[in-house]
Amino acid sequence: MSDEAALFGRALGRALGSGPPQASLGVQRANFLAAAHRMGRRRSQPRWGLAFAFAAVCAVGVGLFAFQRTAEPATLSARFNGQEVRENAELSTPITATKPLEFSDGSKVVFEPSSRAKLSLLGPKRAALRLNQGRFTASIVHHPGMTWGVDAGPYTVEVVGTKFSVDWQGGSDLRVEVTEGTVRVMGGDLDRGGAVLRAGQKLERTMRSAASDAAGTKATPTEQRPEERTAAAPTAERAALTPSGAREPSLAALASAGKYRQALELAEKLGFERVIGELGENDLLLLANSARYAGAPARARQALLKLRDRFPGRPAADLAALYLARIAEQSEHRPQEAVRWLRTFLSESPTGDLAQSARASLLSILSAQGDTAGARAVAEDYLRYHPEGPLAEQARSLVSRTKPP
């Protein structure tokens, strides 16, 4: 094995770990068992001759009936964070932790921090949640005759059996993302038939979207109609990134294929300023990262700043703050600037996935600068949000050593 391949393998192995989180395996198991039962039914269908057909159909029918009787969640129950809950139970999560809502049929909903919801219906044929605020990820096991619904503000998400997430910030933005199966979103300012989302698609609605639709103003990516948002066809933004009349790959295709330098060159050829003014949220992040990887931190910085300017409040804009901190610290050697961006990131995403690593970086920079008070404040934050984090011991030590007399 070449040294390079061996090192690559070692690094990749460490980055990957030995498998998905154990917490996700419960749902995986439930889905497999449900699929096995479905497959079992199919395998029991008749194969030989009409003489057996009737009997076989009867057997399948009886089997199906029996299966439905057992599979039907006639006694569907739910446990929130390990405690049994009943219909109309109010559910809420603290600002620092996620909490699971687990159903007896294997379906599971995981609420993110600072979420509030109500288990509005828990019946034999339907279960429903009302999300008042926050976000959850759901994995619903399909059972014949059972339906699931989620109400978020004026919207309703209808589910059969799927994996999806809903984000509703109490009266403002709705975000539904489907990773498996199909859901239909209805209500609010959507058309009567609603919007059907399939795996890999997402729907974003904001209060601005209704206003802009009504006013007939030009839609921004977050303000497009759901059909436009969920379509996989190239958008005008993406088309703008392909040299006109040429059969060359688009900027996004180049960046996705790891051709970062070529992606950056194409952006320069098309006019970098124009491109960053036209790209969609994710493609703009892709371009910024291409510039980072191609060794052009100034261009990366420019793209990230534009991203924050054009898409404030969006997840990519939050992430951009973190990348700006990295550039400031590693490429530009401006620790104060890095601190500023890390603080910005943490103020926007205090409990997000990347907050722990951002706090660790902030703690490190402030410590290196000898900013005792600043480091202590971050250490306290670290302990509040990540009491079990890898730096918890060091943070505790710092807090105790710097405790005012």
Between residue 274 and residue 313, which ones bind other proteins under the rule CB under 8 A?
A: 286, 289, 293, 295
Helices 260-270 and 281-293: angle between axes, nearest 10 degrees: 120
32 binding other proteins? (CB under 8 A): yes
Least separation in angstroms between residue 39's CB and other proteins is 6
Which CB atom, from 149 or from 249, has the smaller least distance to other proteins?
249
Return the number of the residue (88 or 369) whose C-beta is nearest other proteins. 369
* 255 is a contact residue toward other proteins (CB under 8 A): yes
Binding mask 137-176 for other proteins (x = CB under 8 A): ----------------------------------------
Q: How far is residue 334 from each of residues 90, 306, 316, 322, 329, measured CA to CA in Å? A: 47, 20, 23, 14, 5
Which phi and psi (to 5°) does residue 212 adopt? -70, -35
Residue 388 C-beta-side C-alpha neighbours within 13 Å: 2
- The H-or-E segment that residue 80 falls in is strand 78-80
By the 10 Å C-beta count (0-12 exposed, 13-18 middle, 19+ buried), 207 is classed as: middle
CA distance 100 to 157: 19
Interface region with other proteins, contact rule CB under 8 A, candidates 25-33, 52-60, 79-87, 207-215: 25-33
Closest approach of Cβ 34 to other proteins, in Å? Answer: 10
Binding mask 341-360 for other proteins (x = CB under 8 A): ------------xx-xx--x
Q: In the complex, what is the shortest distance from the CB of residue 348 to other proteins, in angstroms, rounded to a whole number?
A: 14
Q: Which residue among 128, 303, 363, 383 contacts other proteins (CB under 8 A)?
A: 363
Task: Single out the residue of 102, 375, 383, 385 in contact with other proteins (rule: CB under 8 A).
Answer: 375
370 binds other proteins (CB under 8 A): yes
CB of 390 to other proteins, least distance (A): 4
The Cβ-side half-sphere exposure at 176, using a 13 Å CA radius, reads 32
Whether the CB-CB separation of 345 and 358 falls below 8 Å is answered with yes
**Dihedral pair phi/psi, residue 376, rounded to 5°:** -65, -45
Residues of span 180-239 touching other proteins by CB under 8 A = 180
Smallest distance, other proteins to C-beta of residue 329, A: 7
Tokens of 161: 């059996």
User: For the chain, what percentages of helix, strand and coil (3-state, to nearest 5) are there?
Assistant: 50, 20, 30
If the CB atoms of residues 83 and 393 are measured against other proteins, the closer one turns out to be 393
Read off the tokens for 103. Answer: 């159903």
Q: Does 1 bind other proteins (CB under 8 A)?
A: yes
Residue choice 326, 327, 346, 348 for contact with other proteins (CB under 8 A):
326
Listed residue (146, 145, 151) closest to 133, CA to CA: 151
Establish if 368 lies at the interface with other proteins (CB under 8 A).
Answer: yes
Q: How many CB atoms lie within 10 A of CB 102?
A: 19
The residue (of 32 and 54) whose beta carbon lies closer to other proteins is 32
Going by C-alpha positions, the residue among 284, 334, 341 that lies closest to residue 318 is 341
